[in-house]
Amino acid sequence: MVIVRDRRGEKRFALQWGGMPEPAPIHEHALSNLRYIREAMERASAFTSIPGWGGVVIGLTAVIAAFLAHDTATRSQWLRIWLAEAVVAAVIAAVTMVRKARLAHVSFSGAPARRFFISYFAPIVAGAALTVFLARAGFHEALPATWLLLYGASFVSSGAYSIPLVPVMGVCFMLLGIITGFVSFPVAAALLGAGFGGLHILFGVLIARRYGG
Amino acid sequence: MARPARKPVETPAPRREPVTTEFPDFDRLIHEKTRLAIVSALAVNPSLTFNEMKAILKTTDGNVSVHARKLEDAGYLLCKKSFEGRMPKTAYSLTASGKRAFEKYIGHMEALIRAVGGK
């Protein structure tokens, strides 16, 4: 790094390599350094162990759950099937996430994972509580929209500490949740299956391809 | 008759801007890319293990070790070795001196942009 004088005789900081006629101005180098620092910080504060293939499997189980729930006689049976699917999906997510994190040497006790899970679980807990309240009031019609909206919100908020595809997935779930709130229950139930099934499969494949499994 | 040898035309040397060898005064230890990434990663995490650091930096064991050692020798990094079961575990964190050096380095870069870039 050297200081050169321009034609007006003013000092300018510059980087100069042997034989290169036009050294890069030092302020550009400083800008690139600050960019590098920001990228390193973002990389270090992101929880990247989002299981893509795990998402695909969750999507497939959700499609099965949607078909099973479609044939149920009562709303409480419909609810039981989806609650069972939630448990199955949580187990798949946990197993595939732990596996991916181990392979990448990512810790669950570190600050990035902690920030991710706090942001992720806040809307999920709200969704679980609302499920109890709405089911007890017999207001099952509101459940598909509530689940899609809060599940999407969990990805939008936790996505701030993860890979860029996560908040995009969250927004898609939320948009579907808004639409689901304005349709009849059979259509809402179908959209629920399309959301938990289709969006999980779509984003699962994208995440697996771009972020190593 | 042999033609007299032409006097070689003196071509003027390409005009070069006068260059001084003054170096801006900034921390060379942090300036190196891998060490800058180590310090940046630790600026947003209270502590990172060796494997986490390797995953963030996407580099080799040797590279992390060498650069972390240099930062440790300068007093910028604290290296804590322990055992997790039977596996050795190395955790890095920034010292107060390391935090100050990093803040100073960023301040220096920002000052350069303001002073030279005029933006």
Token reading at A195: 């959301």
Q: Rounded to whole angstroms, how far apart are CA atoms A101 and B35? A: 24
Over range A180-185, report the average pLDDT: 95
pLDDT confidence of A8, banded at 50, 70, 90? Answer: low
Q: Where are the domains of chain A?
A: 2-43, 50-211
ipTM of the prediction greater than 0.90, yes or no = no
Does the structure show a pLDDT above 70 at A173?
A: yes
- Say what the pLDDT of residue B18 is: 42
- Say what the pLDDT of residue A45 is: 79
Q: Are A114 and A107 in contact (CB under 8 A)?
A: no
B9 to chain A, closest Cα gap in Å:
23
pLDDT mean across residues, chain A:
88
Q: Rounded to whole angstroms, how far apart are CA atoms A53 and B59? A: 26
Sheet containing strand B87-94, strands side by side: B48-49, B87-94, B77-84
Closest CA to A196 of A149, A161, A132: A149
Q: Rounded to whole angstroms, how far apart are CA atoms B119 and B115? A: 8
pLDDT top residue among B25 and B91: B91
Q: Rounded to whole angstroms, how far apart are CA atoms A136 and A81? A: 17
With an 8 Å Cβ cutoff, are A2 and B21 in contact?
yes
CB contacts of A4 in chain B (<8 Å) are 17-20
pTM of the model: 0.67
Q: How many CB atoms lie within 10 A of CB A63?
A: 18
With an 8 Å Cβ cutoff, are B45 and A110 in contact?
yes
Q: Are A50 and A162 in contact (CB under 8 A)?
A: yes
Token reading at B69: 């050692």
